[in-house]
Amino acid sequence: MNTTIGIRHEDKYLMERRVAIIPQHAKKLIEEQGLEILVEDSPKRIFKNEEFVKAGAKVVHDLSPAKVILGVKEMPIDFFEQDKTYMFFSHVIKGQSYNMPMLKKMMEKKVTLIEYEKVVDEMGRRLIFFGRFAGLAGMINSLWSLGQRLKLQGIETPFTSIKQSHTYNSLDEAIEVISEVGQKIIEQGLPSEISPLTIGFTGYGNVSNGAQEIAALLPIKEVSPKELLALSKKKDLPCNVLYKVVFKESDLSKHKRSNEEFDLADYYGHPENYVSDFEQYIPHLSILMNCMYWDDRYPRIVTKDYLENLYKQTNPKLKVIGDVTCDPGGSIECLHKGTFIEDPVFVYNPFTREPVMGFEGTGLLIMGVDILPSELPRESSMAFSNALFRYIKAIATADYSANFEALDLPNPIKKAVILHKGELTPDYQYISKYL
């Protein structure tokens, strides 16, 4: 029975500082559950090597002795070893072309792959996730982006005192600053040029809820999509109130046949029968927080063609899109790629259809950081580790040489096994068409 697990150093991104298991939980796994934990040396991980050593783990330069290795983001193709088990966010379940070479190599090496994203309960709800922290950091960054963009346009607002998420020492510090901004808005109001300031959220899951937590620190009032359309017709709205609207599937899409009512089950079962109905709301939003799940079966909500038509107007209300979903060329078509924490925003020119990194330029500001939870690395790692902890011993000690049917893992973990001994498991056979 295997009792050794490895914790990998994250190297996909310069600013990736998260870890799947924190020292506090490593200590419990070692002392209470009899596991040996090898931690790959890392100069940047938010929890230092010394903290793991103090917990009883061994800091090493080579994880070869570990048969089960945990990480956060994708691992290099040359990292995988024969017959081992790896658990990380592999980003292969949509058939992502950029990760198919990695998947092929894992198949060649006959490894077992467990995907965090597919660890779900009997209702299909994710059990191990960073989503809330993506929403928290995404909203902080989007408010910061709005302040910087408006300042360049000669409009001073309290948002200029907000900084990018990763520059704060803690989430609590960011919350304190944004709460102070909310108080300033209550006392001083916002400039007439941007009032009423409106924030739209797509989705209502962990990511969206995280973003809404930050927005709730401001003097904000929730309205329905229909009420949003009526706001622009109202006069004498207070300048010290912001408005938010949460868009559900029925607000985003409509059936191709105009006489058909929206049916959620049909939408998920036959998305090809639906088209976007979202464009009617875009001119009424100041910030769009895109926080929903999306894949290419579903209609896009913001297209390049639409933005070109919108920007033929003199001064569109929409200033910032915080694309937390971060599907390049996806639901927000003009997101050409996920951005880096150290270079997080670009201005998309709807006429040239080209992005320019930074805050300056003609067009729409996009914040599309690909690893938003790593902007709050300590808090996000703690929450993630807390959710993962209960499964670690079973993952570490399972006999992966057994047939898949006989593989003894907790049901949520077994559902998340993409590859077993290099073979796609029954639920994931569909990925073969992307290889």
For residue range 14-49, list pLDDT tens digits in order: 999 999 999 999 999 999 999 999 999 999 999 999
User: Which H or E run contains 355?
Assistant: strand 354-357
Local confidence band at 50 (pLDDT 50, 70, 90 cut-offs): very high
In CATH terms, 4-110+378-424 corresponds, of 3.20.20.20, 2.60.40.10, 3.40.50.1100, 3.40.50.720, to 3.40.50.720
Residue 199 is classified by DSSP as E
The full set of domain ranges for the chain reads 4-110+378-424, 131-375
Residue range 212-241: mean pLDDT, rounded: 94
> Would you say residue 177 has pLDDT above 90?
yes
What is the rounded CA–CA span in Å between residue 249 and residue 277?
Answer: 10
What is the rounded CA–CA span in Å between residue 166 and residue 183?
Answer: 23
Residue 233 is predicted with a pLDDT of: 84
Contact 117, 207 (CB under 8 A): no
Fold entry, domain 131-375: Rossmann fold (3.40.50)
Q: In whole angstroms, what separates CA 240 from the centre of its chain?
A: 30
Chain-wide mean pLDDT for the chain? Answer: 96
The β-bridge relationship of strands 417-420 and 112-115 is antiparallel
Contact 289, 236 (CB under 8 A): no
**Fold matches, 4-110+378-424 and 131-375:** yes
Residue 314 is predicted with a pLDDT of: 72
**Strand ranges (DSSP E) for 26-84?**
36-40, 58-60, 68-70
